[in-house]
Chains A and B, each alone.
Chain A
Amino acid sequence: DQQVKQNSPSLSVQEGRISILNCDYTNSMFDYFLWYKKYPAEGPTFLISISSIKDKNEDGRFTVFLNKSAKHLSLHIVPSQPGDSAVYFCAASGNSGNTPLVFGKGTRLSVIA
């Protein structure tokens, strides 16, 4: 039973346009949501996060939006650059004791020049 779902395996966007990556979750106990970026042959790297008390967090070109009632979050990248081409993982955890991150399957973003 997948608790974190990324329903789009891949996404192609033109350079300079907006990339929107989506993520849904089923566990209402999740309090922290994170996005990771992964290049081939490398480990995932942390990109941006948001807690359940917020609905938006921004860091440069990256913005994460959280809709708790819909159990949905999205990552916006504006403007998209060719270097953003990677696999993006959505992850979530609760805030009590032993709650390791649960990851989605990832979305492969291709930014076309």
Chain B
Amino acid sequence: NAGVTQTPKFRILKIGQSMTLQCAQDMNHNYMYWYRQDPGMGLKLIYYSVGAGITDKGEVPNGYNVSRSTTEDFPLRLELAAPSQTSVYFCASSYVQGQLDGYTFGSGTRLTVV
């Protein structure tokens, strides 16, 4: 079972560059999420999706875009990278939302913007 796969694991971007963080899950989960974790901070929700074709903003969506064309994939797009976007990004998925089974997380993408 691959679970949730994130690529790349590491990336260094220059200010103003763009990139897409990839996230794929093979558990047929309806719900998918993007969180970022800054040093000493908890996970903050960027965007989430309740199913293919449906996305919604989380707590910190500015500077990011998402799409959900299939159940399996939920890419996160940074259009104009800024130093404030230096962080570790985690993708997660779940079968249901607001329940007790929790989310399955990927291993993260560590992004540095210089």
Chain A positions near chain B (C-beta within 8 angstroms): 4, 6, 9, 31-32, 34, 36, 41-46, 49-51, 89, 93-106
Q: Please count the residue pairs between chain A and chain B whose beta carbons lie under 8 angstroms apart in the complex.
A: 68
Chain B residues near A96 (CB, 8 Å)? 98
Asked if residues B107 and A42 are in contact (CB atoms below 8 Å), the reply is yes
Chain B residues within 8 Å of chain A by Cβ, number: 27
Q: Which of B15-38 contact A (CB under 8 A)?
A: 33, 35
Which of B4, B48, B58, B98 has most chain A Cβ within 10 Å?
B98
B41 at interface (Cβ–Cβ under 8 A)? yes
Residues on the B chain within 8 Å of A32, using CB: 98-100
How far is B104's CA from A43's CA once the two chains are assembled, in angstroms? Answer: 9
B40 touches A43 (CB 8 A): no
Q: Is the CB of A42 within 8 A of B108?
A: yes
Residue from B33, B42, B56, B104 within 8 A of A105 (CB atoms): B42
